[in-house]
């Protein structure tokens, strides 16, 4: 079938994510692509996901999906997370992406969480700090301080922070998938340099896990990604019961290295 018979159309069914489908005649979905923030708090390159059904590959569909996504970029960079040795890695290499780091993907299942032990972690005193929570839908490039000072409301995001004299010292955030997806994606915990060495990361993460189930009881899994060389954060993951599910390579495409990029 000719590539010209494939239409690339936008799909608006995931808040905060730009998505497209490659549609063949009769509405057959030949491939999909999406852009979503790799870090939902603060600026950062969006993460690209491209998938083409095996029977539709080698027809330029993935290249067209990538070109469509690049037209939507407000900045010149994007990243892609792919399994080593996969068709996705070959696609990245063929289109000028460069390998920047290796990452580990972890999953926490609530049925494996010891609730009493988790509660003890959350209730442990950390002198000079208090836990705060914010819920809502994340705006574009939000600031932690502004979110914590704003009133919470129903939404798909949960922010948990350790507060020191009104300023955040550590935080973690989770974003819940669209119903009926029973899992959330977590970023962090992140601890500001001057507050490190007090186990605030584990404290904040434990509180996020506990609070997330209270606010979104249908969620039964939390997924997260960690750089391969971040040994401290990997230890926090293991301590809290996250289990390793796969390893991937992170690739980056930087259009500032090519002449003529102007963005949106």
> How far, in Å, CA of 224 to CA of 16, rounded?
18
CA angle (18 as vertex; 58, 191 as ends), nearest 5: 110
- Most confidently modeled range among 9-23, 131-145, 192-206: 192-206
Nearest by Cα to 50 from 94, 93, 88: 88
pLDDT(172) > 50: yes
The reply to whether 3-104+248-257 and 114-240 are identical in fold is yes
Position 41 scores a pLDDT of: 58
Determine the topology of domain 114-240 in CATH: Aminopeptidase (3.40.630)
- Tell me the pLDDT band of 217, cut-offs 50, 70 and 90: very high
> How far, in Å, CA of 195 to CA of 170, rounded?
8
The pLDDT tens digits of the residues spanning 69-108 come to 999 887 788 999 999 999 999 999 999 999 999 999 999 9
As a whole number, the mean pLDDT across the chain is 90
Strands 7-11 and 18-23, sheet pairing: antiparallel
| Between 5 and 245, the higher pLDDT residue | 245
What is the CATH code for 3-104+248-257? 3.40.630.30
The domain locations on the chain are 3-104+248-257, 114-240
The pLDDT tens digits of the residues spanning 100-129 come to 999 999 999 999 999 999 999 999 999 999
Position 94 scores a pLDDT of: 96
The pLDDT tens digits of the residues spanning 20-70 come to 999 999 999 999 999 987 766 555 688 999 999 999 999 999 999 999 999
Going from the C-alpha of 249 to that of each of 198, 244, 262, the distances in angstroms are 31, 15, 28
Yes or no: say if 101 and 264 are a contact pair by the CB < 8 Å rule. Answer: no
Yes or no: say if 255 and 98 are a contact pair by the CB < 8 Å rule. Answer: no
Query: Going edge to edge, which strands form the sheet with 130-136?
Result: 7-11, 18-23, 29-37, 46-52, 77-82, 243-254, 98-109, 221-227, 183-191, 167-176, 157-164, 130-136
pLDDT(260) > 60: no
């Amino acid at each position: 079938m000719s590539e010209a018979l494939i239409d690339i159309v936008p799909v608006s069914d995931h808040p905060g994510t730009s998505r497209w489908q490659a549609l063949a005649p009769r509405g057959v979905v030949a491939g999909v692509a999406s852009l979503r923030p790799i870090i939902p708090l603060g600026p950062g390159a969006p993460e690209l996901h491209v998938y083409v059904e095996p029977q539709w590959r080698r027809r330029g569909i993935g290249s067209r999906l990538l070109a469509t996504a690049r037209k939507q970029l407000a900045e010149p960079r994007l990243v892609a997370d792919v399994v080593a040795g996969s068709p996705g890695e070959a696609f990245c290499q063929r289109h000028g992406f460069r390998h920047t780091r290796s990452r580990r993907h972890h999953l926490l299942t609530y049925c494996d969480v010891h609730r009493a032990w988790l509660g003890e972690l959350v209730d442990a005193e950390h002198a000079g700090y208090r836990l705060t929570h914010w819920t809502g839908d994340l705006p574009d490039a939000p600031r932690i301080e502004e979110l914590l000072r704003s009133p919470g409301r129903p939404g798909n995001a949960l922010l948990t922070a350790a507060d020191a004299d009104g300023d955040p010292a550590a935080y973690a955030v989770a974003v819940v998938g669209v119903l009926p997806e029973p899992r959330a994606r977590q970023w962090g915990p992140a601890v500001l340099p001057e507050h490190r060495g007090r186990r605030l990361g584990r404290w904040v993460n434990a509180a996020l896990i506990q609070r997330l189930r209270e606010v979104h009881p249908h969620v039964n899994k939390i997924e997260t990604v960690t750089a391969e060389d971040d040994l401290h954060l990997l230890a926090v993951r293991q301590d809290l019961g996250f289990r390793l599910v796969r390893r991937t390579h992170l690739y980056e495409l930087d259009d500032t290295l090519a002449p003529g990029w102007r963005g949106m």
